Amino acid sequence: MSDRTLVTYEVRDHVAYLTLTDPPANTYTHEMMRDLDAGILEARFDNDVHVIVITGDGEKFFCAGANIKMLQESDPTFKYYFCLHANETLNRLEHTPKLVIAALNGHTVGGGLEIAMAADLRIARRGAGKVGLPEITLGVLPGTGGTQRLARMLGKSKSIELMVTGELMSFEEGEKLGLVNKIFEDEDFAGQVHEYARQFCLPNKAAKAAGRIKRSVQSGCDLPFESGLAIERELQQLLFTSQDAKEGLNAYVEKRKPQFSGN
């Protein structure tokens, strides 16, 4: 067990920052994944947090994936439970009803991309790195959700091609494929990400509605269409009873900017 904090947690302006901190490449171990899991839960239960941002420490790497030395030294049973816990952690992130942004400050490869794909939005720093799932070069597959999330994002054929070739691409190429949502300029990347995240916080946006939109998509997309619609209706009904829905409708009628409260 590591005595160091491998994922730092900070809240600024209703935005929780989870920073992967294990230089030089921010590779993750079981200890880092446990720290990430704890940070996700802290942000989930913190009523002052409306948006979660995951990023990497430094400028060269968001995350280079799992720590190869750890995998080399561990037995197959440990590896299995390591992957299982990582799956559970990223599923928890994906199903937390708060918007999650991955701020890709540097190379995002292997398990690093798998973490980023569990976020709702991926914002990358222009010219700062590569993305891809090169696990085949190690004789394994992307085992922290990579095969499933990539296929759901890009379709089966393209995803298989990228994974069996182990191809790495620039952030700009990733944006063209739909793997990266936006590219921000290198200068003051962190500041730009913060301003982007703040637009989804109270009072600018109805954070509760943003969370329910996420829940409807994440929970409904893999279900039969009618079941997905049922989830959408139930979540909409919950929002109809909120003060924010009343404020939004009143502001529209009164032709003013709404001031959402989260109630």
Q: 173 with 244, same domain?
A: no
Handedness of CA 79, 85, 88, 93 (dihedral sign): negative
- Asked whether residue 211 carries a pLDDT value surpassing 70, the answer given is yes
Q: Is 254 a catalytic site residue?
A: no
Q: 35 with 112, same domain?
A: yes
Number of domains in the chain: 2
Q: 76 with 58, same domain?
A: yes
- pLDDT value of position 4: 78
Specify whether the CB–CB gap between 153 and 120 falls below 8 A: no
- pLDDT value of position 222: 87
For residue 233, how far is the Cα from the chain centroid? 25
* Residue 53 to residue 60: CA distance in whole angstroms: 18
Q: 142 with 216, same domain?
A: no
Q: Domain range for residue 245?
A: 207-253
- pLDDT value of position 1: 45
- pLDDT value of position 252: 95
- pLDDT value of position 12: 97
Q: 212 with 160, same domain?
A: no
- pLDDT value of position 3: 66
Q: Residues 228-242: pLDDT tens digits?
A: 999 999 999 999 999
CATH code of 113's domain = 3.90.226.10
Our CA dihedral for 169, 174, 175, 180, rounded to 10 degrees, sits at -130
Instruction: Catalytic residue, from 10, 114, 161, 173: name it.
Output: 114
- Asked whether residue 84 carries a pLDDT value surpassing 50, the answer given is yes
* Residue 263 to residue 253: CA distance in whole angstroms: 20
Q: pTM for this structure? A: 0.94
Q: 145 with 44, same domain?
A: yes
The answer as to whether 16 is a domain residue is: yes
- Asked whether residue 40 carries a pLDDT value surpassing 70, the answer given is yes
- Asked whether residue 2 carries a pLDDT value surpassing 90, the answer given is no
Q: How many residues does the chain have?
A: 263
Q: Is 135 a catalytic site residue?
A: yes
Q: 242 with 133, same domain?
A: no
Selected residue with higher pLDDT from 65 and 222: 65
The answer as to whether 35 is a domain residue is: yes
Instruction: Catalytic residue, from 31, 94, 135, 175: name it.
Output: 135
Q: What is the mean pLDDT of residues 105-120?
A: 98
Q: Residues 152-190: pLDDT tens digits?
A: 999 999 999 999 999 999 999 999 999 999 999 999 999
